[in-house]
């Protein structure tokens, strides 16, 4: 997504994150369970929260089965929150009121007409 579509989706995700997810599931911040107050500046967090939000809509929205909320808790919530709040996760180095940008790993260019890269070790 880009442009207005991304902005609108991020706005909806922000409303859900700030008014549903965090008040109920946010828990206290600690050095072993960080959260960044500027989570939207962490692409990994946005991607994971977007997936969590989409699953929420599908499993708890109109027409969902009665087990939908339980399935969302079991299959999605814990895994995403554990990943996001891991001390080595996307918010590593962030503290309350102190966002820390992460450096993106460098990727070397590859000549698409050159030899293929070596196979990954088994």
Write down the pLDDT at residue 106: 82
- As separate numbers, helices (DSSP H) first and strands (DSSP E) second, the chain gives 5, 0
Please provide residue 33's backbone torsions phi and psi, each rounded to the nearest 5 degrees: -145, 70
The pair of structure tokens assigned to 122 is 């088994």
Digitized pLDDT (tens) for each residue of the chain, 122 residues in all: 678 888 899 999 999 999 999 999 998 888 889 999 999 999 999 999 999 999 999 999 999 999 999 999 999 999 999 999 999 999 998 888 788 887 777 888 877 777 777 787 87
Domain assignment present for 104: no
| Residue-range definition of the domain harbouring residue 59 | 40-94
Q: Which two tokens stand for residue 1?
A: 């997504």
The pLDDT score that the predictor gives to residue 109 is 80
Count of structural domains, the chain:
1
Please give the model's pTM, rounded to 2 decimal places: 0.80
* Span between the terminal Cα atoms of the chain, in Å: 35
The answer to whether position 15 is within a domain reads no
């Amino acid at each position: 997504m880009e442009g207005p579509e991304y902005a609108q989706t991020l706005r909806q995700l922000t409303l859900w994150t700030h008014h549903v997810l965090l008040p109920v599931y946010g828990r206290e911040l600690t050095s072993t369970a960080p959260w960044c107050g500027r989570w939207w500046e962490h692409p990994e967090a946005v991607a994971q929260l977007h997936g969590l939000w989409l699953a929420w809509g599908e499993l708890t929205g109109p027409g969902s089965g009665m087990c939908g909320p339980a399935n969302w808790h079991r299959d999605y919530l814990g895994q995403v929150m554990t990943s996001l709040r891991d001390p080595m996760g996307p918010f590593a180095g962030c503290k309350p009121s102190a966002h820390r940008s992460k450096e993106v790993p460098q990727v070397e260019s590859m000549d698409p007409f050159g030899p293929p890269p070596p196979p990954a070790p088994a």
